[in-house]
Amino acid sequence: MKKIAIYGGTFDPIHHGHLIVAREALERLGADEVIFIPARVSPLRKTAPVARDEIRLSMIQAAIENEPGFAVDDCELRRPPPSYTIDTIEQIRQRNGDATIYCLIGEDNVGKLTKWRRFADLEKMVRFVVLDRTGQQPSHVYPVIRRKIDISATEIRKRVATGRSIRYFVPPAVKEIIRREKLYLEQRK
């Protein structure tokens, strides 16, 4: 039976922390692929992504190019906002029949899970796996993929805005897109 891991988020920008935990999830779960799904507008976030949808998509494509087991799906960018995980999972389920679907979520989202649209249905359709980059003890029942990685998209945006290097934070192709598109030069207040 096929195993698919869905990794949603704003990816604003995608960085090495995302890629490292995705690779770890692929290997530890024995998944056939990890599908990165950029959210158009996350319903529980207070702020919209800084970079335009098509730019975030191109950064993901550049970051995972030639990476075996990684794919990207722009289904949430093609739907009207907000981006609900249940809608995405239903779409993925239609295309992949009886595949096992893992839903990779950040540790910071666990406390909000019950607020996700149709959470009871979603919980029956996927196996949640928590990606933890903090290294702290979990307070939930979901399996954890733990890698202590101190990189965040917020930090990357701040570094760009203040003229500091993002080398080693993001793949070179992503760094080039950020430079070319003049992304993150102005920090949000």
Q: Answer yes or no: is 65 within a domain.
A: yes
Q: What's the structural domain count of the chain?
A: 1
Q: Answer yes or no: is 187 within a domain.
A: no
Q: Answer yes or no: is 16 within a domain.
A: yes
Q: Answer yes or no: is 33 within a domain.
A: yes
pTM: 0.94
Check which CATH number belongs to the domain holding 18 and give it: 3.40.50.620
Q: Answer yes or no: is 164 within a domain.
A: no
Q: Answer yes or no: is 48 within a domain.
A: yes
Q: Answer yes or no: is 188 within a domain.
A: no
Reported as a single tens digit per residue, the pLDDT across 20-51 is 999 999 999 999 999 999 999 888 887 889 99
Tokens of 21: 């935990």
The pLDDT, as a whole number, for residue 44 is: 84
Reported as a single tens digit per residue, the pLDDT across 110-154 is 999 999 999 999 999 999 999 987 777 778 899 999 888 899 999
Per the structure, the complete domain to which residue 131 belongs is given by: 3-150
Reported as a single tens digit per residue, the pLDDT across 70-80 is 999 999 999 99
Residue 143, helix vs strand vs coil: coil
Q: Answer yes or no: is 178 within a domain.
A: no
Backbone angles phi, psi at 125, to 5 degrees: -95, -20
